[in-house]
Amino acid sequence: MPQSAIVSRPTQRTSSESLYEQALERLPGGNTRTSIFVSPRPPYAARGEGFTLTDVDGHTVIDLQNNMTALVHGHRHPAVVAAVTEALADGLSFGLPTAAEVELADELTRRIAAVERIRFGNSGTEAVMSALRIARAYTGRPAILRFAGAYHGTYDPILPDGAPGVPPATWGDVVTVPFGDTGAFREAVSRHGRRLAAVVADLMPNRPGLVPAGEEFARALRDETERRGIVLIVDEVITFRLGTGGMHGEYDILPDLVTLGKTIGGGLPVGAVGGRAEIMAVTDPREQGYVEHGGTFTANPLTMRAGLAALEALDAVEIGRINGLGELLRRQLTGLGYQVNGRGSLLRLAPGASERLWWPLYRAGVLIAKNGLACISTPMKESTIEEIVRRVGRAAA
């Protein structure tokens, strides 16, 4: 298209209210992601900078939500922006592999001892979906075991029993056990072990409350699956930011497969599944009967470059620093009388408080997830934590 034919759309001033009214004509509920809808209507983001976000009404908040924890470096980190800008100059996406995916794979396999081979996707949902399919192909077994209340994306078998739109037969090969109940877990694998292809576990699941797994329970996950030839999948989509090799390293266990997302994409859509070379080999297209793994935008160079830049800026020192800030904020909020769960840079206000406080917090200048999930980003300092605490105090007044 000739340059002269390109017409720029004029900048128009708008508001969250007018956008919402317009959106209701095209988007059920007024926006695409049900997980970020807030009643009676959500504010709409306009731009972000560092640890702040400004909505279309001109209201600026300290962003503790960070796109559901994906933006570990906050908004527009210079290294990530530079990486994406450089990648843009070469092209948006290709029908061939690129060096960028090799380099990000190198970085992740270097960081995570359990990951010898890896494949990329476009979301945490895709990562879990692929992991389950790989486990079934590797073991030749049909069933999976999951833990009640944990969220692993929107793949049918991982959703709660009775989820709307999912055929009841889907859960015929799904075993559900209470999270953290070592006895119930051992009993379930003893009873169903010969049918189980995989156990999928998040060691600090957000939706049940962001409470870390106990040492005994985590050890049982590894011991029982290893004994019975069951693939242990540890979901690190949210928790990978807690250590250079993820949260499972704190428990001294090596899962068979690890699912990743959020922070490894630098703020762009991403997912990944990686693990033992022997298991990941079932996806090798050089072999007959391999598990297909496609996706038009899988491993696109923009995400791969952004992800590598984000990880290079998230070294052990920086992880330790933001984990310390998270612990500081947790102590401060606990001192104000709130129940705050989590570990390191990940926090979660008790559900009752978060539902009651979302709008007061937003008006006072603090953004959290509507379920109470919050996180620290690297632009934050101790002075930022002090300001957050002051604003939370104003919101509660």
Token pair for residue 260? 């990743």
Consecutive H or E run containing 342: strand 340-343
Active site residue 151: yes
CA–CA distances in Å: residue 251 to residues 171, 179, 348, 388:
30, 16, 21, 31
Give yes or no: 262 in active site: yes
Out of 151, 155, 338, 362, which one is annotated catalytic?
Answer: 151
Q: Which of 251, 262, 338, 362 is catalytic?
A: 262
- Residue 147 is classified by DSSP as E
CA distance 95 to 238: 30
The length of the chain in residues reads: 397
Task: Tally Cβ neighbours within 10 Å of residue 10.
Answer: 5
Q: Are 397 and 391 in contact (CB under 8 A)?
A: no
Q: Are strands 143-147 and 196-201 parallel, antiparallel or unpaired?
A: parallel
Kindly name the residue from 55, 202, 235, 256 that is annotated as catalytic.
Answer: 235
Q: Which of 20, 34, 29, 35 is nearest to 68 (CA)?
A: 35
Check residue 213 and report its DSSP letter. Answer: P
- The residues that are catalytic are 151, 235, 262
